[in-house]
Structure 1
Amino acid sequence: MEQIIQQITDLWFDTRGKKAAEVTKLPQSGSDRMYFRVTGEASATGATATAIATYNPHLKENQTFMAFTESLRSAGCPVANVLKVNTAGDIYFQEDFGDTSLLNLLEQHGYNDYVYSLFQQSLAKLAHLQIKGGENIDYGYCLTAHEFGKQAILSDLLYFKYYFLDTLKFPYDKQALLDDFEALSTYLTHTENKHFMFRDFQSRNIMVKDDQVHFIDYQGGMLGALQYDVASLLWQARADLPEEWKNSLLDYYIGEAGRHLSQPLDAALFTAQYNGYVLIRLLQVLGAYGFRGFFQRKAQFLTSIPLALRNLKAFTGNRKMGIAVPEFDRCLQFCTSDEVINRFEPLRADDSTPLVVHIHSFSYRKGIPHDPSENGGGFVFDCRGILNPGRLPEFKTQTGRDKAVKDFLEQRTAMPDFLNSVFDLVDITVADFIKRGFASLQVNFGCTGGQHRSVYAADALARHLRNKFGVKIELLHIEQESKAWVNG
């Protein structure tokens, strides 16, 4: 990580002729790309220059992003300007659109006229990007298939099958399901309007600055049906748009797309195939959640599954695709049943739940904390296998609650993987204790001095259990309380 930051700093100096004032790592999403905000020194007027630095060792993906960006910008599409690329091709600067996404504004303001207007603006600019921007695209740069055709659709359906449906252990006729997949992919491939397909067009990839929308993360684009991107935006599970918004925004998009085409769209045919692409998109998302959650063991993706299933249930109950796929329908009915949704719904504590989870950080030099409850003890996790930030001079007087230490543990150690395993184990017991009416569970995190690793881990578990179960927490940093370094 230090080497990457140093390379970013050097590239900034080569670009600006001045040192960067600050390089801050931004939250990482599902990809392997790493993002940083670089802030330059203030000018004489007090203004500061910023850019987003991207580190990505996948050079072909970077080349695709550059090529698509150049083509889309030449057509007047609202995408970021690439400011500088290093000689290795694995770090580049791009225009900074800030931190506010369309999803952020939706969550902040709710379903009001302002947010609705931003969705309209997004769809209008999407139609322009797909049709006019797509005229300049060299599809030879596509990362996978050049076209979202039959094989790509089948791939998404199989992604859902292997990484989500098969984990449910539901008995289905495999050949009949594959036959349905074949029929559905053939049906959806026969569309007259194929243009540039963004592939991941959802509200978190739409940045809003000065009331104008800007698009990011389109390097997965390819030639495809117009409907797919519209389905991605309007049926995004986290956005959970009202049904009337989905319908009116779809009508709005059909009108906007028609303005850029040689002849207007057939609204009835477009909508019938749109419904098929909504289904494909919903299933692709579930497959991604299953892959990230079950196989890569990233707990945050599992928590999104109930919302995605309810989204799928709302769709399958009200929309028709114009093609019969009986075995597939049977599988979807099972996936959206209360039985399956309840599997993924975390048990929530309420006011009558007696359970209190006592979470401690401690120093092994002083010994493992005593459990005064009748349980006689609980979990004890040893954090000493994690690289110790206390060995570095700049962190000696800090704790696991200081930002610099947290950044170190998250970015330069195995702490995230360690905590994923901790969450898996503790979650089982917390859920069981809530069901059985137990009153106390103790979880201890120890490290050499009880100052850095154990403090960070204890805070992380407390936050996780509050968010997932709503359970009462008593958090105590034993060594730090004794030194009066931190409160609570």
Structure 2
Amino acid sequence: MEKLLELYKSWKGITPTNVEKLAGAGSNREYYRLTDEVGDTIIGVIGTSRDENHAFIYLAKHFEKRRLPVPHIFVVSDDELYYLQSDLGNTSLYDAIRGGREAGGRYNLAEQKLLRNVIRELPNIQLRGARGLDFSNCYPQPEFNQEGVLFDLNYFKYCFLKATELDFHELKLEANFRMFAKDLTSEKMDSFLYRDFQARNILLDKDGRPYFIDFQGGRKGPFYYDLASFLWQASAKYSFKLRRELVFEYYQSLKNYTEVPSKRHFVNRLSLFVLFRTLQVLGAYGFRGYFERKKHFIDSIPPAIQNLRDLLTLGDDVFPYPYMMDMLKRLTLLPQFAHIEKSAANRTDGFKVAEKDIYNANPLDGPATFSKYDGKGPLVVRVFSFSFKKGIPEDTSGNGGGYVFDCRSTHNPGRYEPYKKITGLDEPVIRFLEDDGEILDFLKPVYELANQHVERYMQRGFTDLMFSFGCTGGQHRSVYSAQHLAEHLNKKYGIEVHINHREQGIEQILKAK
């Protein structure tokens, strides 16, 4: 830290008035926000690897010359272990789209716009960034090749596959690995492969424009890799529809920089890289999770396994590696992965599971509440949809608790002929509401309020809570909202939820888990 401050003083002529250490990620580098007397800030970086730092510094300077949106490097220490770069702020794309991620992949229109802006910019850094780039400065290797692919596949084998104790034939698997590596490297590669292109490594300015960071692991390679890395990020939970649209956005943008292959060829090649990237991240999750015991990586394993399951349905025509595919299918069927839900791309629910035991009440809550309902438990939640024309549902529990939400401020699919005879439980209506986005913004604070209320009721041992959603006819918006809140509470807290779509005559019980 002392050497970083000395570098700052030699560059600025003064010492910073404030030093704030920033949260790290998977890297060994340390980041600090340094503030001067007028409040201007820059980022100071301490790295343990001279070669890795050199790669980032060289690439950042090269990309800036190509007018790409990356940090500006102000000054570098002689040993390249310390440097100062521009402060691009605190808002990452990962943070900006948190709502859609936590809603199980239901990204609203504003979040989808951010994703489209980023994916359209990717070919710019891959193709324009590669022009005039001296790849010998890249770390730890200058280009994507078979040796590197085999290293990552064996990383998956030793750090993840063997940790599951799945029985497999190493020589047969190695033979398929080599076929796979040959196919991945069979095309001409003349673009910059970012390698770690993910939402955490994209910062947004106040106008939502993306800036790129953490590209020090990049090298010469195929452009498919980064697209697969970004769109099949396990925790992002992009729906099939949104992912397909973003692939198309990328394909159209790519045409501005190079001659593109046919769509069929492009999709088949992309599938190979999606599988490779999935195995690669499972290797990383295995090492960081199983061996280093880092919770974030352990939590990332289930959605990555589900991504793998979805990929395996593409079949041998896309993946002509019979032994490897058989082994991967057996991997997804292991008991420790049997509980994993259907993928977000194919489900209409999909909310994250509670990360802590919300059943443990705070001892300070004790007898001070003095309610006759305390300590009875377990909680049962009742969720209604209804038409305001026919009155608000009656609370028969006797405690009068709960909420009534008015969905009529959101876009009504009932105005349009194709939706008049179907309900908020039907896929066309669900797509209409989610693509429009208003219902997602409406429900966001509803989920937060419901979560807080349910957790408190469970802690106190209350037995009944009621939520009601009303709209004009009790057919579309209220049905959608009630169904999704009910499934969310059942999955998140494992409690029994009774659903009553009153005007549709539909009742359902989601059993406690």
Output the TM-score relative to the length of structure 2.
0.64
CA distance in 2, matches of 1:470, 1:333: 30
Q: Which residue of 1 aligns with 2:300?
A: 304
User: 1:239 maps to which residue?
Assistant: 236
Residue 101 of structure 1 contacts residue 208 of structure 1 at CA under 8 Å; is this kept in 2?
Answer: yes
Could you tell me how far apart the structure 2 residues matched to 1:288 and 1:33 are?
18
- CA gap of 1:342–1:35, structure 2 versus 1, over 3 A, is farther
1:51 is the counterpart of 2:48 = no
SS of corresponding position for 2:313: helix
Alignment of 1:111-190 (within 5 A): 111-190=107-186
Distance 1:69 1:80 in 2: 7
2:309–2:332 contact (8 Å) kept in structure 1 = yes
Q: Give the Cα separation in 2 of the matches to 1:207 and 1:275.
A: 28
Residue 102 (str. 1) matches residue 93 (str. 2): yes
Answer yes or no: is 1:341 the counterpart of 2:332. no
State the alpha-carbon separation in 2 of the partners of residues 9 and 291 from structure 1: 34
The residue type paired with residue 12 of structure 1 is: Y
Instruction: State how far apart, in whole Å, the 2-side matches of 1:99 and 1:183 are.
Output: 43
1:226 aligns with 2:223: yes
How many Å apart are 1:34 and its aligned residue? Answer: 0.7
1:201 matched to 2:172: no
* Aligned residue identity for 1:145: Q
Say which SS state the counterpart of residue 134 (structure 1) adopts: coil
**Shift in Å, 1:316:** 2.4
Contact 1:254–1:265, Cα closer than 8 Å, also in 2: no
Q: Per-residue CA shift, 1:310-369, capped at 9, x if unaligned? A: 222223235776241111112211222262325899998878x6x7899xxxxxxxxxxx
SS at match of 2:280: helix
Partner of 2:486: none
Give yes or no for the alignment of 1:37 onto 2:33. yes
- Contact 1:84–1:94 (Cα < 8 Å) also in 2: yes
Q: Does 1:324 align with 2:315?
A: no
Paired amino acid for 1:324: P
Note if contact 1:206-1:213 (Cα within 8 Å) is conserved in structure 2.
yes
Deviation (angstroms), 1:140: 0.7
Name the CA distance, whole Å, in 2 between partners of 1:279 and 1:264.
Answer: 22
Q: Corresponding residue for 1:70?
A: 61
What does residue 256 of structure 2 align with?
A: 259
Measured in 1, the distance between the counterparts of 2:230 and 2:88 equals: 20
How far apart in 1 are the matches of 2:300 and 2:294? 11
Shift of 1:68: 0.9
Unaligned 5+ runs, structure 1: 43-47, 359-468, 472-488
Q: Assess if the C-alpha contact under 8 Å between 1:129 and 1:196 holds in 2.
A: yes
What secondary structure sits across from 1:71 in the alignment? helix
SS at match of 1:164: helix
3-state DSSP class of the match of 1:303?
A: helix
Question: What is the CA–CA distance in structure 1 between the aligned matches of 2:6 and 2:61, rounded to whole Å?
Answer: 25
Instruction: State how far apart, in whole Å, the 1-side matches of 2:212 and 2:109 are.
Output: 21
Q: How far apart are the structure 2 equivalents of 1:120 and 1:186?
A: 32
Q: Does the 8 Å contact 1:275/1:319 carry over to 2? A: no
| CA gap 1:349/1:229 in 2 versus in 1, 3 angstroms | closer
Q: 1:70 Cα deviation (Å)? A: 1.4
Distance 1:213 1:343, change over 3 A: same
3-state SS of paired residue (2:188): coil
**Quick one: which amino acid aligns to residue 302 of structure 1?**
I
Indicate conservation of the 8 Å contact 2:99/2:107, yes or no: no
Q: Report the Cα offset of residue 253 of structure 1.
A: 0.7
Q: What letter matches 1:222 in structure 2?
A: R
CA distance in 1, matches of 2:125, 2:57: 16
Task: Tell which deviates more after alignment, 191-200 or 283-292.
Answer: 191-200
Distance 1:24-1:342 versus aligned 2 partners, 3 A rule = farther
Contact 1:77 1:125 in 2 (8 A): no
Q: Give the deviation of 1:145 after TM superposition.
A: 2.5
User: Number of aligned pairs?
Assistant: 350
SS, match of residue 135 in structure 1: coil
1:76 maps to a residue whose letter is R
- AA in 2 matched with 1:151: E
Counterpart amino acid of 2:69?
P
Secondary structure of residue in 1 paired with 2:256 = helix
The Cα of 1:40 is off from its aligned counterpart by 1.4
Moved more, 332-341 or 164-173: 332-341
- Would you say the 8 A contact 1:303–1:344 is kept in 2? no
SS in 1 for 2:235: coil
Match runs of 1:330-369 below 5 Å: 330-337=326-333, 339-342=335-338
Matches within 5 A, 1:403-414: none
| Per-residue deviation, 1:9 | 2.6
Aligned position for 2:214: 217
Structure 1 349/23 Cα, relative in aligned 2: closer, same or farther at 3 Å? Answer: closer
Structure 2 residue matching 1:192: 3-state secondary structure = coil
**1:105 shift after superposition:** 1.0
CA distance in 2, matches of 1:340, 1:134: 43
TM-score by length of 1: 0.67
Q: Give the drift of 1:91.
A: 1.0
Structure 1 position 268 matched with structure 2 position 264: yes
Paired position in structure 2 for 1:85? 76
Tell me the alpha carbon deviations over residues 140-170 of structure 1, each in whole angstroms, 9 at most, x when there is no partner. Answer: 1121232112111111111111100111111
Aligned counterparts of 1:65 and 1:185: Cα–Cα separation in 2:
27
Shift of 1:307: 2.1
Compute the displacement of 1:88 (Å).
Answer: 3.2
Give the secondary structure class of the aligned counterpart of 1:214: strand
Counterpart residue identity of residue 72, structure 1: F
For residues 326 and 319 of structure 1, what CA distance do their matches in structure 2 show? Answer: 10
Q: Is the 8 A contact 2:34 2:43 kept in 1?
A: yes
Write the letter of the residue equivalent to 2:266: F
Question: What is the identity, as a one-letter code, of the residue corresponding to 1:69?
Answer: A
Q: For residue 249 of structure 1, what is the aligned residue in structure 2? A: 246
- The percentage of aligned residue pairs carrying the same residue is 30
What is the root-mean-square deviation in Å for CA atoms of aligned residues?
2.6
Give, in angstroms, the shift of residue 235 of structure 1: 0.6
Query: Hey, what does 2:409 align to over in structure 1?
Result: none
